[in-house]
Structure 1
Amino acid sequence: MGRWQRPYSLDAATGFAMVGLVGQAAFGTILSIMYVRERPFPLPVAILVGAWLAVCFAVGVRQAMLGVYVSAFGIRSRTMLRTTTVPWASVASIHSGIATIAGLDMGRSAIIIERTDGVSVQTALQRGDLLRPFTFRPEVGRLATWPEHYDEILTTLRAHQRDAQPGRTAQASGPTRSLTGGAGTTSASAPVGRSRAARGGPGVDRRRDIHALARQHQRGALTDAEYAAALAKIEDAGGAQ
């Protein structure tokens, strides 16, 4: 995969932006033909109208290009005013976080790219909702998609990160496997297991693991599906003991 591409299906906002571009181009063409053939308005008015159409067209083009792109090199976020490219080697994690604009909470979740240097890159992809229609949240420069589509995009981007960083992802998932109480981790550290059992037994360990898992889910490090799967593993391990 050498070229940049969206690894997900387009949302309704992007589709409307593309349709709007076609309409603006057609409207500008008609006005140009009318001015050349009939000159229905003075030259200054024609310049103002042309400048307005150019600005609208530029905004429409950028709106249609919003989103997250991936390639073999890395991941790229396109917002209205900025394009940020992060190589896969510099990606620490991709998770859901708080959407902000000028430092203000927009009341939504957004897909965040965490870089290894500690810098967070907020993408234009946000979890939309239909239950708060009167909340003032500007939509230009944002892609607020429905929750199911949002979760699907986040899962797809994480899959691309795992494919591009197999070694780092396996290393990062090591603590998660020990957190879920896998049998391999317990057998590899038998002395630690005996000391834990002496301090409080498997019930204490299981409560601590569930608490840590809930903290990860609250921070957005785990999706709902990942949280449910990990919680089920912990419960199964506790029942087996």
Structure 2
Amino acid sequence: MGRWQRPYSLDAATGFAMLGLVGVVGFATFLAIVYVRDRPVPAPVAILFGAWLVVCAAVALRQAMLGVYVSAGGIRSRTLLHTTTVPWESVTAIQSGIATIAGLDMGRSAIIIERTDGAPVQTALQRGDLLRPFTFRPELGRLATWPEHYDEILATLRAHHRDAQPRHAGQIGGPARPGTGGAGTTSPSAGVGRTGVTRGGPTADQRRDLHALTRQHQRGALTDAEFAAALAKIQGTREG
């Protein structure tokens, strides 16, 4: 169950464009060297040319691996230079936000993973333009897919996040029940347990879930009906 996979169909346009660009540039460079030298390529030049092709191949391979992966344990974002893995229990929302590079607004939307520690993870998945070939924005290190495909990916990732929440809630709620079996009131000074609250109040985990749920609802990740159902579930767990 720890197998990582992309839960969406790939946009092959970006990958084939990148591989085609590397091939064309490499072949053009080779022809230019042969034309200028008009004799077999010297060993130093051949070595340099080979090293350049290796770098291009490595970049193209990493470009092909860009995207968002999911498993039973969490969600993983692969960009050109970084791979970030976030457990499901640390994910508060998966939403569409502003795509930036080096702090500059790219004028696009990107899928962003919101974490409980407040440090969002910007993925390589971006909403592309209908006239993408005529835009002058760098595509290396990002996957600018069509708007319909982008919306489909966002909905799929949100569905995986919602499916993972009941599993996580069950793992958290299991050990907390023994405290309700007539063990008496907890002493306010005995702040050693991880619940550490007065009788009848929410536990620390429930407060965290309520906070995450409210943030998702405010950002539009949950509809009013989904928010009410999830809130009722948390309140029912507390009363039980």
Above 0.5 in TM-score? yes
Change (3 A) 1:173 1:51: closer
* Structure-2 residue corresponding to 1:103: 103
Residue pair 2:93, 2:221 contacting (<8 A) in 1 also: no
**Aligned-partner SS, 1:165:** helix
* Structure-1 residue corresponding to 2:68: 68
* Structure-1 residue corresponding to 2:84: 84
For residue 222 of structure 1, report the CA deviation from its aligned partner. 3.9
**Aligned-partner SS, 2:106:** strand
Residue pair 1:126, 1:143 contacting (<8 A) in 2 also: yes
For residue 162 of structure 1, report the CA deviation from its aligned partner. 1.1
**How far, CA to CA, are the matches of 1:80 and 1:102 in structure 2?**
14
* Structure-2 residue corresponding to 1:150: 150
Residue pair 1:75, 1:88 contacting (<8 A) in 2 also: yes
**Aligned-partner SS, 1:98:** strand
Residue pair 2:15, 2:63 contacting (<8 A) in 1 also: no
**How far, CA to CA, are the matches of 2:155 and 2:109 in structure 1?**
15
Q: Does 1:42 align with 2:42?
A: yes
* Structure-2 residue corresponding to 1:126: 126
Change (3 A) 1:175 1:58: closer
Structure 1 length-normalised TM: 0.62
* Structure-2 residue corresponding to 1:93: 93
Change (3 A) 1:132 1:72: closer
Higher helix share: 1
Change (3 A) 1:42 1:22: closer
**How far, CA to CA, are the matches of 1:23 and 1:134 in structure 2?**
21
| Root mean square deviation of aligned Cα | 3.6
For residue 170 of structure 1, report the CA deviation from its aligned partner. 8.4
* Structure-2 residue corresponding to 1:3: 3
Query: How many pairs were matched up?
Result: 176
For residue 175 of structure 1, report the CA deviation from its aligned partner. 5.8
**How far, CA to CA, are the matches of 2:45 and 2:17 in structure 1?**
26
Change (3 A) 1:131 1:10: closer
For residue 42 of structure 1, report the CA deviation from its aligned partner. 1.0
Q: Deviations over 1:162-199 (max 9, x none)?
A: 111123898579769xxxxxxxxxxxxxxxxxxxxxxx
Q: Deviations over 1:59-104 (max 9, x none)?
A: 1001000000011121110001111111111111110000000101
Task: Name the aligned partner's letter for residue 162 of structure 1.
Answer: R
Q: Deviations over 1:91-138 (max 9, x none)?
A: 111100000001010110000001100001000000111257655321
Structure 2 length-normalised TM: 0.62
**Aligned-partner SS, 2:144:** strand
Q: Which runs of 5+ in 2 are unaligned?
A: 28-38, 170-205, 227-240
